[in-house]
Amino acid sequence: MSIDNFPKLLESILRKKGATTEDIEALADAGIQSKEDFVMIGDTRTLIEVTDMDIEIAHVIMQWALGTQAASLAVTETVVKQEAVVVESADVVKCAHCQAKQPKDYKVGDLCLSCGLQAEPVHNCYWCLSTGPGQFCRSCGAEFVASSDYEVALQLKLEGESKSAIGKLVKEMTAVQKENIWAKIRKGR
């Protein structure tokens, strides 16, 4: 079939998609007369095999002919690699230091089998005076402070600081500021 008998509208669209005269002649020789013929072809690889067309132009034409979503599904030859999703049960405990998974018979305060440190350190709450693992008190919700800063946090509570502000204040304090609070604590004893 010659290019003279090729539908003018289809030829115009294909030229806008990047097809050359040779590409259109190859399409005409393959018997393609309408957009529906591209549906029969099905994917970019088959179009290239039938016409020896450039891969990028063939891809653009098939996207137009099949619609963007259908062409993307039919044309994509590379497999998108997805990371595996790992779902762990709610009772899994990981070491706070090395992130190693602890055995099922783990109890709060046990040492980690991987690094030997306490997997979930038990902290004292400066606000409600309870103890527990984690970063926040399970009784009142206060953020735990390091054991070395426990009495500093208690002093800030006595001075009237709010529960939510104490954890942040202790983290931001310099050594000199902490020493000044320790001086107040020693004076009060």
Helix (H) or strand (E) holding 170: helix 163-172
Which residue has better confidence, 80 or 120?
Answer: 120
Going from N- to C-terminal start, the domains of the chain cover: 3-75, 86-119, 123-188
pLDDT tens column, 8-28: 888 888 888 888 888 888 888
Residue 138: closest CA among 153, 151, 148, 123: 123
Q: Is residue 144 a contact partner of residue 125, using CB atoms and an 8 Å limit?
A: yes
- pTM of the entire predicted model: 0.44
pLDDT tens column, 150-181: 999 999 999 999 998 998 999 999 999 989 88
Residue 23: closest CA among 52, 61, 66: 52
